[in-house]
């Protein structure tokens, strides 16, 4: 009976993590978007015929967090995207601990493979 309560608590924690992560990411991105419109809404429409790429301040973690300190709106939007990307990764890590606690080694192995694939793809983009 106690094991069922622990499993239910862990499932509730995982579900809450997903809900809270998505809601937090949406709030950060919406507030950043509103701030962006306040700061840049009256600027002329950019030339979409040429691709300019994103500045490095929006494509690296140090750039994103550095821009947050300077209250740059685009960096706040990027933080929302980053939080949204980290939400399912957090779920995978919590599931890994849950399966290990249950001693379900097949699911621990599968979950670890999924986590390592995501991690290698994420680090592959950095390196």
In a domain, 48, yes or no: no
Q: How many domains does the chain have?
A: 1
Which domain does 16 fall in, by range?
A: 2-42+54-126
Instruction: Please tell me which residue, 3 or 41, carries the higher pLDDT value.
Output: 41
pLDDT > 70: what percent of the chain?
A: 94
For 68, residues 6+ apart whose C-beta sits below 8 A from its C-beta are 75, 76, 79
Q: Does some domain include residue 49?
A: no
Q: Is residue 47 part of a domain?
A: no
The answer to the question of residue 76 being in a domain is: yes
Mean per-residue pLDDT, 22-28:
97
Mean pLDDT over the full length of the chain: 89
Distance between CA 105 and CA 85 in Å, rounded? 26
Q: Are 76 and 32 in contact (CB under 8 A)?
A: yes
Give the span between the Cα atoms of 83 and 90, in whole angstroms: 10
């Amino acid at each position: 009976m106690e094991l069922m309560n622990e499993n239910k608590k862990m499932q509730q924690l995982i579900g809450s993590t997903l809900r809270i992560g998505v809601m937090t990411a949406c709030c950060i991105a919406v507030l950043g978007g509103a701030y962006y419109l306040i700061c840049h809404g009256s600027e002329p429409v950019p030339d979409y015929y040429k691709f300019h790429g994103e500045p490095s301040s929006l494509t690296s973690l140090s750039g994103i967090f550095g821009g947050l300190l300077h209250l740059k709106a685009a960096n706040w939007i990027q933080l929302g995207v980053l939080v949204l990307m980290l939400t399912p990764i957090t779920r995978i890590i919590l599931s890994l601990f849950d399966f290990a606690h249950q001693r379900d080694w097949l699911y621990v192995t599968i979950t670890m493979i999924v986590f390592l694939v995501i991690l290698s793809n994420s680090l592959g983009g950095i390196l």
